[in-house]
Chains A and B, each alone.
Chain A
Amino acid sequence: MIRRAGAVSLAFALMAQAVLADPSRVLVIGGTAAEIVAALGQSGRLVARDATTTFPPELMALPDVGYMRALSPEGVLSTAPDLILAEAGAGPVEAVEVIKASGIPYVTVPENFGPDAVAEKIKVVGAALGQSDAAATLAAKVETGLAEARAKAAEVPAKKRVLFVLTLQGGRVTVGGDDTAAEAIIELAGGVNAAEGVSGYKTMTDEAILAAAPDVILMMERAGAMAAKPEDLKVNPALAATPAGQAGTIVQMDGLKLLGFGPRTPEAAQDLRRALYGA
C-alpha cells in the first residue's frame, strides 16, 4: 500500500509540475500567510482558506477547510488547489503526508517572530506565487517599518511594563512569557514584558502577578459581549491590585494583527506604542 502511495504521488507530481509555474488555485493555511497573499495583491488566486484566516475580511467568504492543526486530507484535496501555502504548524502530520502524497505543490511558510521572520515569510510566499519582485518590495517596506518601530522603541525614556494576558478564565491568568510573539511585539512597541522568567504561555500565580507589577494589561480583542472590560480584571484580586488593575488600563488588539508577525506587524507595533505612550 505504501508503494501504491508512492506510485500515485509520482503520477501526481508529474501532473502538478506543469502547473507550478503560475498557480491559479491556491489554498492558504494560516492567517499570516493569507495576509501576505492579500498584501501581494494575489487574493484573487485563493480558492479556500483555513479557520485561522481572518484578514482581510473578504477572505472569510472563501470555503473553510477547518482548523490548521486538524486538517482533513480529503477536505483539502476537494478544494482542488494547484498550490498549497501552509504555515509550519499545519497538521496533523499524517494528514499533511497524504496531502503531500497527492503531488499538489506544498509550500511551508515559516511560523516565527524573530527579527527577519516577516521578510522571510513574505519571500517564501512571493516565490511560491511567482511574485518574487513584488515580495521583495513588500518585504523591504515591512523591514523599514520594523526598523522604524525599533528605533522609536529605543527612544522611549521610561519603558512601561506590559503583561500580555491570553485568558482570564475562571480567574486564572494565562500570560505570555519569554520567547513568545507577545513578548516580541511588546518590545517592538517600546514596552517591557512584565512576565519575564515565565516560558511560553503559562498560568501565573497571584504573587508572581503582584511582583510583575504591570502598568498595562494587553489582551486580544473579542467581539461584542466577549470583549474584556476593565471590571473583568477584578476576577483576579492580584491582577486588580497591580498598577494596571488600579488604573484600569487594558489595551485590546486584534489577535492576528498583534501576534501574527506578518505585513501588519509594523502597524501593530505603532498602534501598541500609541496605546502605551500616546505618541
Chain B
Amino acid sequence: MTVTLAAGQPEVDRRARGARATWALLVLLGFAALAALGSGASGVSLGAVLLGIWSGEGLDARTQLVLFEIRLPRLAVGMLVGAALAVSGALMQGLFRNPLADPGLVGVGAGSGLGAVVAIVLGGLLPFQTPWLVPVAAFAGGWCATLILYRVATRQGRTSVAMLLLAGIALAALAGAITGILIYLADDNELRDLTFWSMGSLAGSNWDKAVLGLPFILPVLLFAPLLGGGLNALSLGEAAARHIGHPVERIKLLSVLGVAAAVGAATAIAGGIGFVGIVVPHLLRLATGTDHTRLLPNAAILGAALLVGADTLARLVVAPAELPIGIITAILGAPVFLWILLRQAPLAEA
C-alpha cells in the first residue's frame, strides 16, 4: 500500500505541474505583453504612459498613436498568430501521432501560399485595389486546399491519415508548381513582395487584421482543448480510440478544420512564420507531459508569449528598421529544436 502511494506521487506531481505551468505561462505572457507594449523604436515607455495617465495629464497624440494604433494592435495580432500556430501544431501532432507533424501536412501552408501569390501577382488585374486582397486570398487558398485534401483522403466515411499525408505532398507540389508559374509572370516589385510575405512579419499589423483573425482563431483556441481527450486516445491508434468510445472521425474532421481556420487566418494576417508550431508543443511535452487537455491550452499561451517576444526582438535589434519575424523564430527556434532532439536521443532509443 505504501509502495503504491509513494510511487503514485510523481503522477500527481505531473498533473499538478501541468496546471501550475498554465499559471506560470500566463505570467510569462503578461511579461512578454508588457515588454512589447513598453518597448519600441520611438522610445515611448510604459513608465511614461502610466505617469501620464496617473498624473491626469493624459497622453499626447503621438504617444497615443504609438500605443493604440501601432503597439497594441501588433501585440493583439502577435498573440493571435502565435497561439494559432502553436495550437495548430499540437493538434496536427496529436492527429498524425507524430511530434514532428505541422500544419503544412494538411495543405494549409501550400494553399494559403498559392492564394497569396495569386493575389499579389494577379491582383493588379482587378478593377479595384484593396489591402484585404492578399489576406483574404491566402485564407481562402488554405481552406480550399484542406477541404480538397480531406475529400481525397476520405473513403466510406473514414479518413485515412496516411492518405492525407501523401495527398498533401502531391497537393503541395502542385501548388508549388502553380506558384512557380505565377512567380515567373511576376514583375520585380511583386517578387519582392512575395519574398517578404513568405518570411512573415507583424509589421503590417493593425486593428483590422486583428479583427479579421479573431473570429477564426479564438474559437479554435477555446475549443481545441475539448479535443484533448480524443487526441490522447488517438495516440493508441484509431481503432483503439474508437474502442474506448471516441468519435474518431469527428475528432479528425474538427482538428483539420480547426487547423485550417487558425493557420489560414494566421498566415493571412502575418505571412509564413515557421517553427512556432513544432517548438512550442515539444517544449511543453518535455516540461509537463503529453496530456493534450493540458498541452493545447498551454501551447496557446506559450505560443502567444513566444511570438510576442520574438516580435519585440525583431523590432528592437535593428531599430528603426526591423527584421522579418520569421528570421527571429528560425534563428531562435532551430537551435532550441536541435538541442531538444539531442537531449531526447537516449530516450528514443530505449
Complex: A in contact with B (CB within 8 Å): yes
Q: Which 5 A-B pairs have the closest CB atoms?
A: A66-B321, A75-B320, A94-B204, A78-B41, A78-B42
Q: Is the CB of A78 within 8 A of B187?
A: no
Given contacts A69-B192, A72-B41, A201-B187, contact A92 B203 (CB under 8 A): yes
Contacts of B70 in A (CB 8 A): 73-74, 77, 98
Proximity bits, A99-123, B CB within 8 Å = 1, else 0: 0011100000000000000000000
Q: Which of B41, B43, B66 has the most CB of A within 10 A?
A: B41
Alpha-carbon distance A190/B133, docked complex (angstroms): 42
Contacts of A8 in B (CB 8 A): 61, 64-65, 68-69
B189 contacts chain A at the CB level, 8 A cutoff: yes
A48 contacts chain B at the CB level, 8 A cutoff: yes
Alpha-carbon distance A5/B62, docked complex (angstroms): 11
Of the candidates B62, B131, B184, B207, which one forms a contact with A202 in the assembled complex, judged by CB atoms under 8 Å apart? B184
A12 contacts chain B at the CB level, 8 A cutoff: yes
15 interchain pairs, CB-CB under 8 A:
A5-B69, A8-B61, A9-B65, A63-B320, A64-B320, A64-B321, A66-B318, A69-B193, A70-B196, A70-B324, A75-B320, A77-B62, A78-B320, A94-B204, A201-B188
Q: Is the CB of B66 within 8 A of A92?
A: no
Q: Is the CB of A95 within 8 A of B203?
A: yes
Having A66-B318, A76-B320, A202-B184, one finds 9 other A-B pairs with CB under 8 Å, namely A15-B61, A66-B320, A71-B203, A72-B321, A73-B203, A74-B71, A78-B319, A92-B201, A201-B188
- The smallest C-beta distance from A66 to any residue of chain B, in angstroms, reads 3
B208 contacts chain A at the CB level, 8 A cutoff: yes
Count residues of chain B with CB under 8 A from any CB of chain A: 39
A40 contacts chain B at the CB level, 8 A cutoff: no
Contacts of B64 in A (CB 8 A): 8
- The smallest C-beta distance from B213 to any residue of chain A, in angstroms, reads 13
Residues in chain B within 8 A of chain A (CB atoms): 40-43, 61-62, 64-66, 68-71, 73, 131, 184, 186-189, 191-193, 196, 201, 203-209, 315, 318-322, 324
Q: Is the CB of B65 within 8 A of A77?
A: yes
- The smallest C-beta distance from A271 to any residue of chain B, in angstroms, reads 23
Alpha-carbon distance A203/B184, docked complex (angstroms): 8
Alpha-carbon distance A78/B321, docked complex (angstroms): 10
Contacts of B42 in A (CB 8 A): 74, 77-78
- The smallest C-beta distance from B248 to any residue of chain A, in angstroms, reads 42
Q: Is the CB of A65 within 8 A of B61?
A: no
Alpha-carbon distance A72/B74, docked complex (angstroms): 11
Contacts of A15 in B (CB 8 A): 61
Contacts of A78 in B (CB 8 A): 40-43, 319-320
Q: Is the CB of A1 within 8 A of B41?
A: no
A93 contacts chain B at the CB level, 8 A cutoff: yes
Q: Is the CB of A2 within 8 A of B207?
A: yes
Alpha-carbon distance A184/B188, docked complex (angstroms): 16
- The smallest C-beta distance from A126 to any residue of chain B, in angstroms, reads 26
Q: Is the CB of B315 within 8 A of A92?
A: no
- The smallest C-beta distance from B202 to any residue of chain A, in angstroms, reads 9
Of the candidates A69, A73, A75, which one forms a contact with B196 in the assembled complex, judged by CB atoms under 8 Å apart? A69
A230 contacts chain B at the CB level, 8 A cutoff: no
A210 contacts chain B at the CB level, 8 A cutoff: no
Q: Which A31-52 residues have C-beta < 8 A from chain B?
A: 48, 51
A131 contacts chain B at the CB level, 8 A cutoff: no
Of the candidates B68, B188, B208, B315, which one forms a contact with A200 in the assembled complex, judged by CB atoms under 8 Å apart? B188
- The smallest C-beta distance from B292 to any residue of chain A, in angstroms, reads 35
- The smallest C-beta distance from A117 to any residue of chain B, in angstroms, reads 16
Contacts of B43 in A (CB 8 A): 78
Q: Is the CB of B69 within 8 A of A98?
A: yes
A67 contacts chain B at the CB level, 8 A cutoff: yes
Q: Which chain A residue lies CB-closest to B323?
A: A66
A255 contacts chain B at the CB level, 8 A cutoff: no
A89 contacts chain B at the CB level, 8 A cutoff: yes
Q: Which A126-180 residues have C-beta < 8 A from chain B?
A: 180
Q: Which chain B residue lies CB-closest to A71?
A: B203
- The smallest C-beta distance from B181 to any residue of chain A, in angstroms, reads 13
Alpha-carbon distance A203/B186, docked complex (angstroms): 12
Alpha-carbon distance A94/B70, docked complex (angstroms): 11
Contacts of A202 in B (CB 8 A): 184
Alpha-carbon distance A102/B69, docked complex (angstroms): 9
Alpha-carbon distance A71/B65, docked complex (angstroms): 17
Proximity bits, A14-42, B CB within 8 Å = 1, else 0: 01000000000000000000000000000
Alpha-carbon distance A2/B68, docked complex (angstroms): 11
Alpha-carbon distance A138/B61, docked complex (angstroms): 38
Alpha-carbon distance A249/B186, docked complex (angstroms): 30
- The smallest C-beta distance from A163 to any residue of chain B, in angstroms, reads 17
